[in-house]
Structures are given as structure tokens and as C-alpha cells.
């Protein structure tokens, strides 16, 4: 019998082809999913949200059929002081923030309420624009008893009538720290931020804004620091 006619030998090409296909499929599954494209939405407005604070809030808009759509968003890259002293879910966060901001509990909560008012005032001012990854945005890890939040970049109109990112205004006012999820600037926004701005550049910019606010003793950075007895 000729070797080439042996059944095992005749199967080898098929076996090799199948192995190559499986390896390719495995490598495709191992690759991280490509980041979703940025989606821009205009005409948003502040929605009533009992869990709102400086960096998280409900926004609503009209869909193409004229219905109201509401989602809860969390700003990329910043963390405002907590504002609800009675929320037991946030107790660990409050303790961690007291150390990060270098202040006591009453001062932290006072500036948390100020940050919430600051954001609400700008979000009610109209002409709010949001940018999200995908139609609704990248999900924030879910917290028990709270609505699902999604990350967004939020643009508002400042007191001078200029469009500004809300996270920058909060940092400049000393009502937030550079913290949390960084993100690369959307392609349409790169010219405003020096060309190809990756997530690392986004983080550096926020860190610089925080340092400037600290040096000016703006907001919570200028409050009397808590000292142990």
C-alpha cells in the first residue's frame, strides 16, 4: 500500500487547516474589543436625580420620535466630594475622600453640596453637549441601589458665554480632584487640546489643573485643614 493513500495521511491537510482556524479564532477572541466610536448629543438638559452630585447627574433629551430619554452620567477623569452624609453606601468613599482632600467630614460634605450646585447651575444653563463612547456611553461599575451610570464628557457654557468642559471648570474651582477613568480626546476635539491627545495626555492636563487649584487654594483646597487632636 502506498503511504499517501493511507487514511491518516489523507486526513492531515484537513487536521492542519482545522488547527489553524481554531488558533485564529482563539487569537481573535483574545484581542480586546475595539473602543466604540464617539457619539455626540446636543440639546441635553439636567434631569431630576436624587443621586446627583458634582460629577454624576441625570441628563435628558428628546429622541427622534419626540419622547424623553433620561440617562445618568459620570464625568470622565474627576471626582467631586460626596454630599450625602446619610448615605451608608458612600461611607467608605467619604472616608477615602477626607484623606485625599485633606479635610474633615463637615467640610468635605459642604464642598460636595457646592460642587453639586455648581454643576446643576451650568447644566440648567442650556446648550449642553455630551460625548459618549457608543450611543449611550461606557458603563460605570454598578453600585447597589443606584441607577446604572455611564461615562461622558460634558460641555457647558460658562459665565462668559464660552463652551467649556465641565470637568475642567470643576477642577479650576477647587471642587474636584483629578481621579478616575481617563480617556483619549475624541478626534474632533484634538485640535483644541494639542493634536493627538491620548488618555495619558488627558490625565496630565487634569493633574495640572488640580495643581493650579491647589496653589491658588481654590475651593476645598483653601478650606481649613482638619487636624487630629
Q: CB-based burial of residue 173 (10 Å sphere; 0-12 exposed, 13-18 middle, 19+ buried)? A: middle
Residue 144 binned pLDDT confidence (cut-offs 50, 70, 90):
low
Which CA distances in Å does 81 have to 148, 221, 224? Answer: 20, 12, 15
pLDDT value for 193: 56
Please state, in angstroms and rounded to a whole number, the distance separating the CA atoms of residues 114 and 106.
12
Estimate the crossing angle of helix 105-123 against helix 91-101, to 10 degrees. 100
Three-class DSSP category at 57: strand
Flag the least confident range among 10-14, 27-31, 88-92, 185-189.
27-31
Q: 163-195, pLDDT tens digit by residue?
A: 999 999 999 999 999 998 778 777 666 556 555
pLDDT value for 214: 95
132 close to 106: Cβ distance less than 8 angstroms: no
Residue 68 binned pLDDT confidence (cut-offs 50, 70, 90):
confident
* 82-91, long-range: CB < 8 A, 24+ apart: 82/53, 82/108, 82/109, 82/112, 83/53, 83/54, 83/109, 83/112, 83/113, 83/115, 83/116, 84/53, 84/109, 84/112, 85/109, 89/143, 89/144, 89/145, 89/146
Residue 3 binned pLDDT confidence (cut-offs 50, 70, 90):
very low
Instruction: For Cα atoms 170, 98, 216, give the angle at the middle one, nearest 5 degrees.
Output: 45
Q: 148-163, pLDDT tens digit by residue?
A: 889 999 999 998 999 9
pLDDT value for 29: 33
Q: CB-based burial of residue 39 (10 Å sphere; 0-12 exposed, 13-18 middle, 19+ buried)? A: middle
Q: What is the mean pLDDT of the chain?
A: 79
Amino acid at each position: 500500500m502506498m503511504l499517501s493513500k493511507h487514511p491518516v495521511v489523507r486526513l492531515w491537510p484537513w487536521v492542519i487547516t482545522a488547527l489553524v482556524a481554531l488558533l485564529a479564532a482563539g487569537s481573535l477572541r483574545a484581542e480586546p474589543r475595539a473602543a466604540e466610536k464617539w457619539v455626540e448629543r446636543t440639546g441635553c438638559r439636567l434631569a431630576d436625580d436624587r443621586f446627583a452630585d458634582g460629577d454624576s447627574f441625570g441628563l435628558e433629551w428628546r429622541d427622534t420620535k419626540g419622547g424623553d430619554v433620561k440617562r445618568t452620567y459620570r464625568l470622565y477623569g474627576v471626582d467631586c466630594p460626596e454630599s450625602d452624609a446619610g448615605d451608608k453606601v458612600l461611607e467608605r468613599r467619604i472616608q477615602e475622600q477626607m484623606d485625599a482632600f485633606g479635610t474633615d467630614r463637615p467640610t468635605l460634605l459642604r464642598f460636595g453640596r457646592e460642587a453639586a450646585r455648581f454643576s446643576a447651575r451650568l447644566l440648567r444653563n442650556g446648550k449642553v453637549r455630551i460625548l459618549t463612547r457608543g450611543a449611550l456611553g461606557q458603563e460605570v461599575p454598578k453600585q447597589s441601589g443606584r441607577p446604572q451610570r455611564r461615562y461622558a464628557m460634558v460641555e457647558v457654557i460658562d459665565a462668559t458665554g464660552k463652551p467649556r468642559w465641565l470637568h475642567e471648570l470643576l477642577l479650576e474651582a477647587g471642587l474636584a480632584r483629578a481621579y478616575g477613568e481617563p480617556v483619549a480626546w475624541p478626534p474632533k476635539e484634538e485640535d483644541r487640546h494639542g493634536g493627538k491627545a491620548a488618555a495619558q495626555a488627558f490625565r496630565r492636563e487634569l493633574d495640572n489643573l488640580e495643581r493650579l487649584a491647589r496653589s491658588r487654594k481654590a475651593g476645598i483646597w483653601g478650606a481649613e485643614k482638619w487636624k487630629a487632636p
